[in-house]
Amino acid sequence: MTYKAPLKDMLFNIQHIANIEQVALIPGFEEAGFDTAQAVLEECAKFNEGVLSPLNWEGDIHPSNFKNGVVTTTPGFKEAFKQYVEGGWQGLQHPANYGGQGLPKTIGAACGEMLNSANMSFALCPLLSDGAIEALLTAGSDELKAVYLQKLVSGEWTGTMNLTEPQAGSDLAAVRSRAEPQADGTYKVFGTKIYITYGEHDMAGNIVHLVLARASGAPEGVKGISLFVVPKFMVGKDGALGARNDVHCVSIEHKLGIKASPTAVLQYGDNGGAVGYLVGEENRGLEYMFIMMNSARYAVGVQGIAIAEMAYQKAVAFAKDRVQSRPVDGSIKASAPIIAHPDVKRMLMTMRAYTEGCRAMASSAAAAYDASHHHPDADVRKQNLAFYEFMVPLVKGYSTEMSLEVTSMGVQVHGGMGFIEETGAAQYYRDAKILTIYEGTTAIQANDLVGRKTMRDGGLTARRIAAQIEVTEADLLKQGSADALVVARRLKAAREAFLDVVDFVVAHTKSSPNAVFAGSVPYLMLAGNVVAGWQMARSLLVAQEQITQGVDLGFMKAKITTARFYADHLLTKAPGMRDSIVEGAECVTALALEAF
């Protein structure tokens, strides 16, 4: 089956959860209200449904291939990328003065979800370019911006992120690639980088590698890492492409999923050194790379939502079509479509609730990003930045772990047919697995949540979020419907569990780090669950109000049912998770190493 964009749900979030009309009050976004969002999303849906979705299965069975130093992408990808560029999709969120459309992330994130649902392997190329653009906008010199940004924003050239080395996975202190300064102000870069997404391909005229390396004389550890632009082809003063730089692909990986996306091993400097250009200042490379990383981490969270949506759509279509057994209540006297069976409904509702909850959470975070970067009031920017930064590990960590559960359920709904590749359900399961690993594993997101996002301000941001949740609880009680009262009770219990864990983390991270970090991933999952559940509670309130106005009754009633399901079946996990974190740390670390 091909993808059908969930436009109603996306636009519901953009209008009511992200409050796009408030975003449109920010200078520079005046033309980016709801009408613009609707027009952009509808056009985006046409492209992704019609062009990219039909290529997704093709990419799985005919992945990118490597021969004689050349990477050839899946048949159809090159032509689709040309259409993507011509449509202006790469520049959607980027500044107009570099050829972009300057739209808010609130709109761009929804377009990113569509792109990844339609074809995640394809979407990885523009995702990495987005990160390179963000890094150059923030730390690049005027000269680097003039040479590279317009071409990257247009999509004529693509970007990569080069962190990992064979001996340095997540531990970037172990990076050995080196950069030797030259008399003309450039550097010669030497080293090997692995896991480079779209590090070599045939879809664009040039590839702009952003590379972490140590300049000569740099201190050891992460403090000695610098960031360099290393183009595949040199760029002349007139902007024309020149000679091939000394960076070459030596192989691509054979992977469990995202097979159409070429994951390259790149060798720098085999023939005298690759010419590189310093980004910003020496020894501040990790700081700049985190700009790319945070951009990519949020985007990977959106990938989780995207792949979950596609798995849900496929499971629903199969469940409506597959006839098997009579319903247990006897409502149908013969064998019926399996969607009539309660446990299949439970699985489909779980898939739906997870996906909608995470989509709403990501949409609220996108609006905070827009305010944190563009609002004229410094205090508003500061408050929204704190909220957005707290959200990034939740969007990345919770949404991607969620996607594994949802895509696994998608296979389960298909039964034995789900285990057969030809049905396509297994591809989503395989593709989803990488999401919990790249751009920082779930454990790394959890470490970030504990160290940078909770401990750094003594739990202040976490408690402020809890206070906002409490306001929503009061609104639910005031609304007073049966569904609202149940959701209020569930949300209160989840919020209190969240606060207990925040207090535990703040009180014990310094004195008992093993106890806290033994529960860091459960803390991340609890926090993500609570925040997504909060957004679903907000959605319920909006839907109840819309029903009183007679707006789209079918959609609004379904939203209320899904929010209630989330509260009863997913939010209820929070108190138990609290117990495992606060009271269960000792048994995680108690077993002697030799007993494993």
Residues labelled catalytic: 439
Identify residue 29 by its one-letter amino acid code: F
Give the CA radius of gyration of the chain: 24
Residues 206 and 213: beta-carbon distance below 8 Å: no
CA pair distance 354, 431, nearest whole angstrom? 18
In Å, how far are 30, 146, 220, 510 from 171, measured between CA atoms? 43, 33, 13, 22
Q: What does DSSP assign to residue 335?
A: -
CA pair distance 139, 338, nearest whole angstrom? 55
Residues 398 and 365: beta-carbon distance below 8 Å: no
CA pair distance 435, 433, nearest whole angstrom? 5
Residues 366 and 104: beta-carbon distance below 8 Å: yes
DSSP letter string over 255-317?
Answer: -SS-TTS-EEEEEE-TTS-EEEEE-SSTT-HHHHHHHHHHHHHHHHHHHHHHHHHHHHHHHHH
Residues 227 and 199: beta-carbon distance below 8 Å: no
Half-sphere exposure in the Cβ direction for 390 (13 Å, CA):
28
Question: CB-based contacts of 363: which residues, under 8 Å, 6+ apart?
Answer: 10, 13, 14, 17, 18, 106, 109, 110, 535
Question: CB-based contacts of 356: which residues, under 8 Å, 6+ apart?
Answer: 9, 536, 539, 559, 562, 566
Instruction: Give bridge partners of residue 267 from the DSSP assignment.
Output: 192, 248
CA pair distance 158, 133, nearest whole angstrom? 10
342-374 vs 378-414: helix crossing angle, rounded to 10: 160
In Å, how far are 7, 67, 177 from 235, measured between CA atoms? 41, 26, 23
Tokens 């005046």 belong to residue? 30
Residues 4 and 49: beta-carbon distance below 8 Å: yes
Identify residue 192 by its one-letter amino acid code: T
CA pair distance 275, 400, nearest whole angstrom? 37
Identify residue 510 by its one-letter amino acid code: K
